[in-house]
Structure 1
Amino acid sequence: MLQNVFMALSTINDYLSIFITWAFVVPFLYNYACTINCRNKHVMFISLVMMLSYTFSLIMFKASLTLTDSIYLDLVIADLLTILTLVYFSYSYAHANATAYYYLVFGLTFNAILHMAMHYDYVVLVTYDYWWLWGVYGVGQFSSDLIMAIVLIINKDILGLVKIKKFLLSSQLLQKTTQNM
Structure 2
Amino acid sequence: MDIDSFWELIEECRRQAQGPDERLAWLRGALSQRSMAEVVQFQVRLDEVTHEAFTWDLWAAADQIFGGWCSDDGFCYFGLWLVGLGRDAFTQAVTDPDALAATPEVQALVGRPRDVWNDDWPGWESLDYVAMEAYGNLASVDDECGESFYEAVDAEKGDGGGTSGPLGEQWDVRREDEAARKLPRLRVKFPLR
The answer to whether TM tops 0.5 is no
Answer 1 or 2: which has greater helix percent: 1
> What is the TM-score when the length of structure 2 is the normalising length?
0.27
> What is the TM-score when the length of structure 1 is the normalising length?
0.29
Structure with greater contact order relative to length (CA < 8 Å, sep ≥ 6):
2
